[in-house]
Amino acid sequence: MGAQNGKDLLIKVDMTGDGQFDSIAGLRATRISFNAESVDVTSLESQGGWRELLSGAGVRSANISGSGVFRDAGTDERARQLFFDGITPDFQVVIPDFGIIEGPFQVTSLDYAGTHNGEATYELALASAGMLSFTAV
């Protein structure tokens, strides 16, 4: 995979449950991170005293964060509704020339900011709320 344009990493949400995904707000910066907790099963019998981890165990999660400007009242309302309703709709994270991560997420943080002579900006954070799938492109 060669160098990619950062603006092509998109976060989309299915607000109605009909499988139609729309980009959420006017993101300028986006990040997704994957995490997996390890389960230590080291014992006195562990070979050479090396730590052993239980394969496939532990909690897996993903976190998404983004910041940008709202493009219109509709995208502002979408992000706000997700936070205040506490719902966990399906999201898609489109990573160019890599694939699409899809699954339920919850908006865990929504921050607004602005300066006197600038545009209103926002930051949002999402936490995975169920099983995620990956589709390679």
Q: What is the pLDDT of residues 63-92, one digit of tens each?
A: 999 888 876 677 778 888 899 999 999 999
Over residues 16-43, the mean pLDDT reads 87
- Residue keyed to tokens 């492109």: 137
**For the chain, what are the domain ranges?**
6-136
Confidence check: pLDDT of 1 > 70: no
Contact between 86 and 25 (Cβ < 8 Å): no
Confidence check: pLDDT of 108 > 90: yes
Q: pLDDT at position 39, please?
A: 94
User: Most distant CA pair in the chain: distance in Å?
Assistant: 66
pTM of this structure = 0.83
Q: How many residues does the chain have?
A: 137
* CATH label, 6-136, candidates 3.10.280, 1.20.1530, 1.10.10, 4.10.410: 4.10.410
Q: What average pLDDT is seen over the chain?
A: 87
DSSP 55-81: TT-S-EEEEEEEEEE--SHHHHHHHHH
